[in-house]
A and B are shown apart, each in its own frame.
Chain A
Amino acid sequence: MAQQESARVRAEEEPLLSVENLQTAFFTDKETIRAVDGVSFDIRRGETVGIVGESGSGKSVTARSIMGLVDSPGRVLDGSSIRFDGEELTDKTEEQYRGIRGGEIAMVFQDPLTSLNPVYTVGNQIKEALRLHQGLRGAAATEEAIELLEAVGIPDASRRVTEYPHEFSGGMRQRAVIAMALACDPELLICDEPTTALDVTIQAQILELLDELQEERGLAIMFITHDMGVIAEVSDRVNVMYAGEIVESAPVEELFENPRHPYTQGLLRSIPGNQPGSERLETIEGDVPTPNEPATYCRFEPRCPKAFEECTRVHPASVEVNTGVDAEDHSAACLLYPEDVSQAEAVELHEQRNSEREVSER
Chain B
Amino acid sequence: MSEQVQQESVSVATGETLVEVNELKTYYDEGAILDSNPVKAVDGVNFEIKRGETLGLVGESGCGKTTLGRTLIQLESATSGEVLFDGTDVTELSGAELKNWRRNSQMVFQDPESSLNDRMTVGEIIREPLDVHDWNDPKERRARVRELLDVVGLQPEHYYRYPHQFSGGQRQRIGIARALALEPEFVVLDEPVSALDVSVQAQILNLLEDLQDEFGLTYLFIAHDLSVVRHICDRVAVMYLGNVMELGATEEIFQDPKNPYTHSLLSAIPEPDPTSDKERITLRGTPPSPRDPPKGCPFTTRCPMKIRPEKYQNVDPDLWVAIEVFREVLRERSRAEKTLTEQAKELLGMETRFSDIGEIRRELFGDLDVPREVEAHLDRAAEHVKNNEDAEARKVLRDEFGSICDAENPANHVVSDSGRISHCHRHLPEYTEPDEFTPYTER
CB contacts under 8 Å to B, within A245-287, are 252-253, 256-257, 266-268, 270-274, 279-285, 287
Contact call A200/B60, Cβ cutoff below 8 A: yes
Contact call B353/A281, Cβ cutoff below 8 A: no
Q: Check A14 for interface membership: any CB of B closer than 8 A.
A: no
Cβ-defined partner of B206 (8 Å) among A158, A167, A283: A283
Contact call B329/A156, Cβ cutoff below 8 A: yes
Task: Mark contacts of A189-213 with chain B using CB atoms, 8 A cut-off: 1 yes-contact digit, 0 otherwise.
Answer: 0000000000111111101100000
Q: Check B31 for interface membership: any CB of A closer than 8 A.
A: no
Most B CB contacts (10 A, CB to CB) among A163, A200, A252, A282 go to A200
Contact call A270/B227, Cβ cutoff below 8 A: no
Contact call B360/A233, Cβ cutoff below 8 A: no
A230 cross-chain contacts in B, Cβ below 8 A: 270
State the CA gap A162–B353 with chains docked (Å): 9
Q: Check B10 for interface membership: any CB of A closer than 8 A.
A: yes
Contact call A207/B270, Cβ cutoff below 8 A: yes
Contact call A156/B333, Cβ cutoff below 8 A: yes
- Stretch touching chain B among A109-117, A221-229, A328-336, A342-350: A221-229
Cβ-defined partner of A274 (8 Å) among B227, B280, B282: B227
A169 cross-chain contacts in B, Cβ below 8 A: 286
Known A205-B282, A283-B203; contact A200-B226, beta-carbon cutoff 8 A:
yes
Q: Check A171 for interface membership: any CB of B closer than 8 A.
A: yes
**B210 closest partner in A (C-beta):** A280
State the CA gap A270–B228 with chains docked (Å): 11
Contact call A204/B356, Cβ cutoff below 8 A: no
Task: Mark contacts of A274-303 with chain B using CB atoms, 8 A cut-off: 1 yes-contact digit, 0 otherwise.
Answer: 100001111111011000000000000000
Task: Mark contacts of B256-270 with chain A using CB atoms, 8 A cut-off: 1 yes-contact digit, 0 otherwise.
Answer: 000000001101111
Interface SS of A by simple majority: helix
Contact call B199/A54, Cβ cutoff below 8 A: yes
A272 cross-chain contacts in B, Cβ below 8 A: 201-202, 205, 225, 227-228, 230-232
State the CA gap A287–B10 with chains docked (Å): 26
State the CA gap A226–B356 with chains docked (Å): 43
Q: Check B252 for interface membership: any CB of A closer than 8 A.
A: no
**B359 closest partner in A (C-beta):** A158
State the CA gap A256–B276 with chains docked (Å): 11
Q: Check A306 for interface membership: any CB of B closer than 8 A.
A: no
State the CA gap A271–B282 with chains docked (Å): 24
B202 cross-chain contacts in A, Cβ below 8 A: 270, 272, 281-284
B10 cross-chain contacts in A, Cβ below 8 A: 279
Q: What is the CB-to-nearest-CB distance from B6 to chain A, in angstroms, rounded to a whole number?
A: 10
State the CA gap A207–B202 with chains docked (Å): 26
Q: What is the CB-to-nearest-CB distance from A299 to chain B, in angstroms, rounded to a whole number?
A: 14
Task: Mark contacts of A134-168 with chain B using CB atoms, 8 A cut-off: 1 yes-contact digit, 0 otherwise.
Answer: 00000000000000001000011111001100010
Contact call A228/B197, Cβ cutoff below 8 A: no
Known A200-B60, A228-B198; contact A233-B270, beta-carbon cutoff 8 A:
yes
State the CA gap A250–B280 with chains docked (Å): 26
CB contacts under 8 Å to A, within B305-338, are 325, 328-329, 332-333, 336-337
Q: Check B271 for interface membership: any CB of A closer than 8 A.
A: yes
**A255 closest partner in B (C-beta):** B274
Q: Check B84 for interface membership: any CB of A closer than 8 A.
A: no
Contact call A233/B364, Cβ cutoff below 8 A: no
Q: What is the CB-to-nearest-CB distance from B326 to chain A, in angstroms, rounded to a whole number?
A: 8
**B281 closest partner in A (C-beta):** A204
**A281 closest partner in B (C-beta):** B202
State the CA gap A14–B115 with chains docked (Å): 51
State the CA gap A271–B201 with chains docked (Å): 9
A257 cross-chain contacts in B, Cβ below 8 A: 275
**A232 closest partner in B (C-beta):** B274
State the CA gap A263–B272 with chains docked (Å): 16
Contact call A232/B199, Cβ cutoff below 8 A: no
Q: Check A176 for interface membership: any CB of B closer than 8 A.
A: no
Q: What is the CB-to-nearest-CB distance from B220 to chain A, in angstroms, rounded to a whole number?
A: 18
**B362 closest partner in A (C-beta):** A158
**A284 closest partner in B (C-beta):** B199
State the CA gap A70–B339 with chains docked (Å): 40
Cβ-defined partner of A204 (8 Å) among B228, B268, B328, B336: B268
Q: What is the CB-to-nearest-CB distance from B341 to chain A, in angstroms, rounded to a whole number?
A: 12
Known A156-B329, A201-B264, A229-B270; contact A208-B282, beta-carbon cutoff 8 A:
yes
Q: Check A55 for interface membership: any CB of B closer than 8 A.
A: yes
A157 cross-chain contacts in B, Cβ below 8 A: 363
Contact call A288/B268, Cβ cutoff below 8 A: no
Contact call B200/A287, Cβ cutoff below 8 A: yes
Q: What is the CB-to-nearest-CB distance from A88 to chain B, in angstroms, rounded to a whole number?
A: 33
- Give the 6 A-B residue pairs with the shortest CB-CB distance, closest first: A229-B270, A272-B231, A199-B60, A270-B202, A273-B227, A284-B199
Q: List 7 A-B contacts (CB under 8 A).
A: A156-B329, A156-B360, A158-B353, A199-B224, A200-B265, A232-B272, A272-B228
Question: Assuming A267-B198, A272-B231, A283-B202, what are 9 further A-B pairs, CB within 8 angstroms?
Answer: A162-B353, A202-B286, A227-B270, A231-B272, A252-B274, A272-B228, A272-B232, A283-B206, A284-B199
